Structure 1
């Protein structure tokens, strides 16, 4: 009897200690995810916008952070700054040149965990305007758990600062606009 209980306890502990990596698809249908940006407007304010059409996925492994990864693909034509004329300009050759570069993407190459549980550093390849650069940024887990529809969700948020000129976007908006902020809010549904 003792051997049976010991074997059962070992199996339960082993299954918890070595949980398999979890695969998630980003919930863009329910509008529980977004890719947003802001850039300074001549030193007086901010132009803010978002990409309305994108898809993504991520892998989360609580036991081995080296297995974690994230991938996002953005339809650049979906840029939305809440101003139709500005959106046409941003889609054109001065900025995103969406006819030539219809997609932007991010693929992680390494994820490490910070000292605080739930905070991670993500390194990966960001492709924008046909140029790929390695970037590094911090993300934070917002939460995880069962949803009201019988699924399981996990969400993260993070942001990075980048220079448009590093990606071949050289339209002069003045020195205050030399950098821009890119923000990811990703809520995924476990598959």
Structure 2
């Protein structure tokens, strides 16, 4: 009898330790932003307006979490229509041929600092997939009358040439490095 109780307890603990929580990005409380150097003297800011994202967690922390994002390249917005149209062209994102950018995580590691993580994954832009690492700050979770929410900030820098976005190959007018900052709120499903 004692062995049966131990076995049942072990099974229950095993099942509960594998319980996963599904989250979906809340676009009303999130933003996908970028900035890039212009002419070596200033920065141009922009964002993407249309995206979906999911997060799977084991418990409340981000340890062993997985992320999956899709961004519609057509939704780029720098608040200048002429520039946005140029960014949608073959010189940059070539949105008709490559309508989506994707990110899929491969692992996440705690840094040892409270609420700080390194998010490893694969970023695909213009059909090119490269490994990237995001610095993530976990903002925590809250429960309110609209359900449970989880917040975080993720930031990385990429070289646009790695993704065949090679307009202005000298980088004199348009910088080579693009800083990406995502402010994300997820809703528990």
Q: Taking structure 2 as the reference length, what is the TM-score of the superposition? A: 0.86
Pair 1:62–1:118, CA change in 2 (3 A)? farther
Q: Are the equivalent residues in 1 in contact too, given 2:105–2:122 (CA < 8 A)?
A: yes
Q: SS state of the match for residue 90, structure 1?
A: helix
Please give the alpha-carbon distance, in whole angstroms, between the structure 2 residues aligned to 1:154 and 1:162. Answer: 26
Please give the alpha-carbon distance, in whole angstroms, between the structure 2 residues aligned to 1:63 and 1:98. Answer: 37
Please give the alpha-carbon distance, in whole angstroms, between the structure 1 residues aligned to 2:173 and 2:153. Answer: 28
Q: Are the equivalent residues in 1 in contact too, given 2:30–2:183 (CA < 8 A)?
A: yes
Displacement of 1:145 after TM fit?
A: 1.1
- 1:169 is aligned to 165
- 1:138 is aligned to 135
| 1:91-149, Cα deviation, whole Å (9 max, x unpaired) | 00100000110000100011111102321111111001111001112101112110232
Q: Are the equivalent residues in 1 in contact too, given 2:31–2:184 (CA < 8 A)?
A: yes
Give the superposed CA RMSD: 2.3
Q: Taking structure 1 as the reference length, what is the TM-score of the superposition? A: 0.85
Equivalences for residues 73-152 of structure 1 within 5 A: 73-149=70-146, 151-152=147-148
Q: SS state of the match for residue 178, structure 1?
A: strand
- 1:182 is aligned to 180
1:45 equivalenced with 2:42 (yes/no): yes
Q: SS state of the match for residue 132, structure 2?
A: strand
Please give the alpha-carbon distance, in whole angstroms, between the structure 2 residues aligned to 1:121 and 1:160. Answer: 10
Question: Which of the pair is proportionally richer in strand?
Answer: 2
Q: Are the equivalent residues in 2 in contact too, given 1:18–1:63 (CA < 8 A)?
A: no
